[in-house]
Amino acid sequence: MNHELSGNESGLIAYYNFDQGIPGGNNIGVTTLNDGTTNGNNGTLNDFALIGSTSNWIGSDAPIFAPCPTGNVTLTTQAEVDALLGCTHITGSLTIGPSTDIVNLDGLECIESISAGFNLVNNSVLVDMSGLTNLTTVGNQISILNNPLLVTVDLEDINGSLGGSLEVQNNNGLVTLLGPTNLTTIGTNPFIAQDLFITGNPVLANITGFENLTSIGWRFRIANTLEENLPDFANLMSVGTDIVFESNQNALLINIPNVTGILATDFKIQNNASLITLNAPVNLTSTGNDCFITGNPNLTNLSGLENLASVGWRFRIADTKEDVFPDFSNLTNVGTDIAISNNDNVGLIKLPNVTGSLGTDFKIQNNASLHTLMGPLNLTLSLIHI
DSSP state of 65: B
| Res 1: pLDDT | 45
| Res 13: pLDDT | 86
> What is the side-by-side order of every strand in the sheet holding 159-162?
159-162, 182-186, 215-216, 238-239
Length of the chain: 386
Q: Within a 13 Å sphere around the CA of 82, how many CA atoms are in the beta-carbon half?
A: 7
Q: Reduce the DSSP state of residue 140 to 3 states and report it.
A: coil
Q: How far apart are CA 96 and CA 105, in angstroms?
A: 9
| Res 61: pLDDT | 62
Q: Find, among 83, 180, 189, the residue nearest to 136 by Cα.
A: 180
Q: How far apart are CA 53 and CA 263, in angstroms?
A: 73
Phi, psi of 302 (to 5 degrees): -120, 120
Is residue 354 within 8 A of residue 376, CB to CB? The reply is yes
Phi, psi of 68 (to 5 degrees): -65, 135
| Res 234: pLDDT | 98
Is residue 308 within 8 A of residue 286, CB to CB? The reply is yes
| Res 22: pLDDT | 81
Cα–Cα distances (Å) from 376 to 252, 293, 355, in that order, read 33, 20, 7
CB atoms within 10 A of CB 257: 18
Cα–Cα distances (Å) from 214 to 143, 181, 217, 260, in that order, read 20, 12, 10, 11
Q: Which residues contact 335 (CB under 8 A, 6 or more apart)?
A: 311, 312, 313, 314, 358, 359
- Interior angle at CA 189, CA 187 and CA 190, nearest 5: 95
Whether the bond between 98 and the residue before it is cis, its omega within 30 degrees of 0, is yes
CB atoms within 10 A of CB 220: 24
Q: How far apart are CA 304 and CA 308, in angstroms?
A: 9
Cα–Cα distances (Å) from 302 to 149, 162, 275, 326, in that order, read 38, 32, 10, 7
Is residue 126 within 8 A of residue 148, CB to CB? The reply is no
Is residue 186 within 8 A of residue 217, CB to CB? The reply is yes
Q: Find, among 377, 296, 279, 378, the residue nearest to 344 by Cα.
A: 296
Q: Which domains does the chain have, with CATH numbers?
A: 1-64 (no CATH), 73-240 (3.80.20)
Q: Specify the long-range contacts of residues 310-317, CB closer than 8 Å, at least 24 apart.
A: 310/285, 310/286, 310/334, 311/286, 311/287, 311/335, 312/286, 312/287, 312/288, 313/289, 313/337, 314/289, 314/290, 314/338, 314/339, 315/290, 315/291, 315/339, 316/290, 316/291, 316/292, 316/340, 317/293, 317/343
* Entry pTM: 0.85
Q: How far apart are CA 226 and CA 207, in angstroms?
A: 9
- For residue 316, list its beta bridge partners: 292, 339
List, run by run, the mean pLDDT of 10-residue segments along the chain (386 residues): 66 80 84 85 85 78 67 97 94 97 96 97 95 95 98 96 98 98 96 97 98 98 98 98 98 98 98 98 98 98 98 98 97 97 98 94 96 93 66
Q: How far apart are CA 385 and CA 383, in angstroms?
A: 7
